[in-house]
Amino acid sequence: MVRILGIETSCDETAIGIVEDGRRVASSVVASSQEFHRPYGGVVPEIASRVHVEVIWGVCEEALARAQCQLAQIDAIAVTQGPGLPGALLIGLAFAKGLALSLDRPLIGVDHLAAHLYVGEMTGSDVEPPYVGLVVSGGHTLLCVVHPEQRVELLGETKDDAVGESFDKVAKMLGLGYPGGPAIDRLSEEGRRDAVAFTRSTARDGFDFSFSGLKTDVYRYVQKLGQGAGDKGQGKDHTPRPGPLAPGPQLDRQQIADIAASFQEAAVDILMAKALRACQRTGLRRLVVGGGVAANRRLRERLQHEQQAGTWQVVVPEPSLCVDNGAMVAGLAFASLRRGHRSPLNLNIYTNSQLN
């Protein structure tokens, strides 16, 4: 049995998972610094880095304890190399190198976005490339084809905001706090999806996405209803901002829920339209979805609905494996290790997506 310890520190989660033979998740521990970013309405890189340093050893001990194993029983150390926040990535990488060196085990750097998709392969023994991959996270939104040996062919990506970022920004406009995705998901249950017909920028023929038009549309609508002025809600753009807008006195809970549900429906429509197009054009019937927004209940429902209609076979991991975690890093590293890949100890980080 090959036991890999995977380390993920690309943004605000310090996460370590232990995975056996690339599939069985023995443990997955996630410590988030979200509460420290909340007053700023988005991730503050310096705070994220500091918290990673403070908690990473404890997260590692917890992951080992839950997997009921010792460090000496770990066969390889995997770590997210990028993309992500540079300071945050460097802490995970330094920690991984320290473990690899002291334990004399191979070090394997993996791509964060490829890892989000690989979790789909971990969910069932029959999930293998080629398939269409849809990554929907706070920093990225992309469609690709994953070929055998994890070779990724990019079909399209967002030209402006990532979909998770648009959830976070709209939540901020509505005074729902950070991170906004889960808050919008919850509140949408109380709202009407057809209350407001927000724009859906799916018209262009390719596979690229755009969410800024939708965000601006929601902003204008909220303004029109008389809510706060000035701040467009900067969400997860990693820059400290003045505190989030409180909902204006004119907006009651039902109005906010209606806006949330209508926005969510528009965002899901955009994702669905592009994913359908990708499956049609490539002729592939399997779709694997990963990244934090794949935890969204309405998106999951719509994806399953299309499966029942016979459109595709969709693979969406359980919500805890959609958001950032260390198990996905360890899983993908197993596939790399099997192909003989090892990273040098002078491995460096990268901050922008390498998928092209």
Contact positions vs ligand KG4 (CB under 6 A): 11, 137-139, 164-165, 167-168, 179-182, 185, 236, 291-293, 295-296, 323-324
83 DSSP 8-state letter: S
Question: Does 165 sit near Zn ion (CB under 5 A)?
Answer: no
Residue 80 or 336 with smaller CB distance to Zn ion: 80
Residue 14 or 137 with smaller CB distance to Zn ion: 137
Q: How far is Cα 101 from Cα 91, in angstroms, rounded to an integer?
A: 15
Binders of Zn ion in range 135-154 (CB under 5 A):
137
DSSP-H helix ranges across the chain: 34-37, 45-67, 86-103, 112-122, 163-173, 180-188, 212-224, 253-282, 297-308, 319-322, 327-338
- Reduced DSSP (H G I as helix, E B as strand, rest coil) percent helix, strand, coil of the chain, to 5: 45, 20, 35
Site string for Zn ion, 97-136 (x = CB under 5 A): ----------------------------------------
Output the CA–CA distances (angstroms, integers) from residue 214 to 144, 208, 233, 292, in the order listed.
23, 15, 13, 19
Least Cβ distance, residue 200 to ligand KG4 (angstroms): 17
Residue 67 or 322 with smaller CB distance to Zn ion: 322
Residue 22 or 83 with smaller CB distance to Zn ion: 83
8 contact, one of Zn ion, ligand KG4, none, CB 5-8 Å limit per kind: none
Q: With beta carbons less than 8 A apart as the criterion, state whether 37 and 43 touch.
A: yes
Least Cβ distance, residue 138 to ligand KG4 (angstroms): 3
Choose, by CB under 5 A, the member of 227, 303, 324, 355 that binds Zn ion: 324
Question: Does 8 sit near Zn ion (CB under 5 A)?
Answer: no
Output the CA–CA distances (angstroms, integers) from residue 306 to 237, 303, 310, in the order listed.
33, 5, 6
Question: Does 353 sit near Zn ion (CB under 5 A)?
Answer: no
- Other residues' Cβ atoms within 10 Å of the Cβ of residue 247: 18
β-pairing, 131-136 vs 107-111, is unpaired
Least Cβ distance, residue 190 to ligand KG4 (angstroms): 15
Write out the residues near Zn ion by the rule CB under 5 A.
Answer: 137, 324
